[in-house]
A and B are shown apart, each in its own frame.
Chain A
Amino acid sequence: MWKVRIVAVVLLLIGAGIGWFVVNSEQVGQKFPFRYGLDLAGGSHLLYRADTSKVVSGDVNSAMQSLRDVVEKRVNIFGVSEPLVQVERGGVVGGGENRLIVELPGVTDLSEAVKAIGQTPTLDFRLQKTDETGAQIYEDMGLTGQYLDHATLDFSSGREGTISNQPIIVLTFNPEGAKRFKDITSENVGKVLAIFLDDVIISAPVIQEAIPNGEANITGTFTPDEARELVRNLNFGALPVPIELVSSQTIGASLGEKALTQSVDAGLWGFGLVALFLILWYRLPGVIAVVALSLYVALNLAIFKLIPVTLTTAGLAAFILSIGMAVDANILIFERMKEELKSGKVLGEAIREGFRRAWSSISDSNLSSIITGVILFWLGGTAVIKGFALVFIIGVLVSMFTAVTVTRTLLLALGFGKSTSKAAHFLFGNGLGK
């Protein structure tokens, strides 16, 4: 008896701790805030189809990777907090298309976003100068990426005057570019000729000498990986593969905010109505079920924070729906308990039997929910549906713990095990009867 009571108290304390974590971690500056999807926070979701038909099949992955990097850089320049850029393959149903997903929280002007992503990037060389006030400026030298033939990666071993194994980026210009490059370098030896990509400085080498052969070496303090990335960016200065916008969603922040408040309201009322029903119909076990349900809510919210699950309108709807479904196991058990009581068992025995006998129904039916959830998650198609499915699956799993283990422990801990008093029977009865 005392063992059960200790376990019950520990469970309640853990539940309170989880609840405290959920509330406390919402304060500004704390780790693990809720992560809201674009439909709640406002923002744009863009889906591009990449035309990889002209890419050699073995290079598709690296082309998509560099596409992702280029787009991510542009998005970063755009000044968006926590943008998401990811490559997706359409799969069998999608005809194996290569796609790019771009999510821009807070950006509600689609035209602006589309322009920022689709713009032709600029690679250009600028000369570092000092203006009258002493500030450093970069002067445009009219040498841009259009004059670049290609870039390659080399390592310095075997070259004179270099530290061995330092990465070197070799730029090869086309004839027109070579001529311009020669002019610029011969006139500016000792100065810094900076390389800009999308108006952001990526390298600032010093001109060592006039370079007549149209080949420029960039040595710097790159790691081999950085050098490789730079070479890729230089070669794929333009988007490595053409992209086409195939779907987009833009939601204003005010609409998202309203949806969030409304969802929270609906959740609170939904919880309240279910709690009221449980207490009125199932009396004492009903109260216990409400405690277990509160733990269910806290545990779910904590999991949403820790994984983290991106919450969307549909995801919140799934969570609210799951509150209504989570008590199914409780109802199964309590109805069973009532039958066992009727057949003359003492309370403690009836409680244990109720749980034992209801278990096969609970596991079977939850398994069918999980099957549905997994298929939805797998074939969901849209982020909305995947979000719904994930919350739904988590809900089913958590409810098996709270509705069964927690409820049983708490009920047994109450200590009505051998009671045969009328009051105890009333408390454990249900419905409209005595």
Chain B
Amino acid sequence: MFIVKNRKLFYSFSVAIIVVSLASLLLWGLKFGIDFNGGSLLEISYTSTPAPSADEVGQAVHDSGVVGSSIRPTGETGYLIRTPFLTPAEYDSLKVGLTKGGAWQYDQKRFDSIGPTIGSELKTKSIYALALVLLAIALFIMFAFRKVSKPVSSWKYGLVALVALAHDVIIPIGVFSILGHFFGAEVDTLFVTAILVVLGFSVHDTIVVFDRVRENLRKNQEKNVKEVFEDTVGKSVGQTLNRSLNTSLTVVLVLVALLLLGPASVHFFVIALLVGVVTGTYSSVFIGSPLLVTLEKMQKPKEKELKKERK
């Protein structure tokens, strides 16, 4: 099986992407959305022509006494104005300010405002949720594989699954660090949701392959066939490859439909899911199972030493 044989190649590929992700994180960090940092977000679309330029809008925001805002154009005449958390009174003066004394008219599309305490609460909740999902999934895998102990003990399946999951978390975060720097993508509660869904999805894939390894190991035992562990894993990956790829493909199909046709408010959410699904499939096929083999090879030398000692 070429995947297991060439595992070092696939490991290197993942390591390279992880390095890029971490580098981007160090260099640019993440852009947190208002639901984590607190703040207000106003989306408007000017109906009077000509629509004011971003600079003019920025000046109008500044003139209405709101400091620390950022303005991003959306569409032809629309603007997304992000400000620190506004009180209702500040919001009222901003709304008036944006008409430039009645010279401009606009439609307000949405206004989101999240206080700093709610923001930090959502941040804490997200971290708890992430930790809890990782823990629950790891425990679940260990439980599912508690009966398999030869030649790799069940906790190692759990460990490998965790490594694969960490892989699936780091890469989307890195991608969002890059997207945040160039396209203003924000890390918000939806992003965390996407990551959690991807974790569940990726563990699907990992379980299916591990399940097959388990089945093949049992079959070999029953038929008294001696097979190198590497070959068993390779065979299992091969047998489940179609399923892994096809399942991801159907999910990718619906996600692409959502990305191209769906509402703008979920665009980055869908992108996070897409990146995660692709990464998750990659990790369970090209990283997870091969890592089992690597672990098995690592314990071999020890066994040899033990035998020597016994002699």
Contacts and interface: CB of A to CB of B under 8 A. Distances in A.
A365 B204 contact: yes
A431 B242 CA distance: 9
| Among A250, A266, A380: residue with most chain B CB under 10 A | A266
Interface stretch (A143-151, A162-170, A370-378, A421-429): A370-378
A365 B190 contact: no
B115 to A, nearest CB: 4
A332 B208 CA distance: 9
A401 to B, nearest CB: 18
Given A249-B111, A263-B262, A375-B132, A381 B199 contact: no
B114 A247 contact: yes
Contacts of A373: 200
Contacts of A263: 262-263
A223 interface: no
Interface in A242-275: 245-252, 254-255, 258-259, 262-263, 265-267, 269-271, 273-274
Interface residues of A, number: 74
Given A281-B246, A313-B263, A367-B140, A320 B258 contact: yes
B198 to A, nearest CB: 9
A254 B110 CA distance: 10
Interface residues of B, number: 71
Given A266-B258, A328-B247, A368-B140, A361 B110 contact: no
A370 to B, nearest CB: 9
A4 interface: no
A247 B110 contact: no
A251 B110 CA distance: 4
Contacts of A281: 246
Nearest to B126: A381
A90 B122 CA distance: 11
A371 B133 contact: yes
B115 A376 contact: no
B154 to A, nearest CB: 14
Contacts of A255: 43, 109-110
Contacts of A251: 109-110
B125 A381 contact: yes
Interface stretch (A227-235, A382-390, A404-412): A382-390
A297 to B, nearest CB: 12
B204 A376 contact: no
A259 B144 CA distance: 41
A133 interface: no
Given A255-B109, A313-B263, 11 more contacts: A110-B91, A118-B88, A266-B257, A269-B257, A277-B250, A321-B273, A332-B243, A364-B144, A371-B140, A375-B129, A376-B197
29 contacts: A39-B265, A47-B118, A49-B115, A49-B117, A90-B121, A93-B124, A93-B125, A95-B121, A110-B111, A246-B114, A249-B113, A252-B110, A265-B261, A266-B258, A277-B250, A281-B246, A313-B266, A317-B269, A320-B258, A323-B254, A324-B251, A325-B247, A325-B251, A328-B250, A331-B243, A332-B208, A332-B247, A365-B203, A381-B121
Interface of A: 39, 47, 49, 90, 93-95, 108, 110-111, 114, 118, 245-252, 254-255, 258-259, 262-263, 265-267, 269-271, 273-274, 277-278, 281, 313-314, 317, 320-321, 323-325, 327-328, 331-332, 335, 339, 357, 360-361, 364-365, 367-369, 371-373, 375-376, 379-382, 384-385, 388-389, 392, 431
* Chain A to chain B: the 5 pairs with minimum beta-carbon distance, closest first: A270-B254, A372-B200, A324-B254, A259-B263, A270-B257
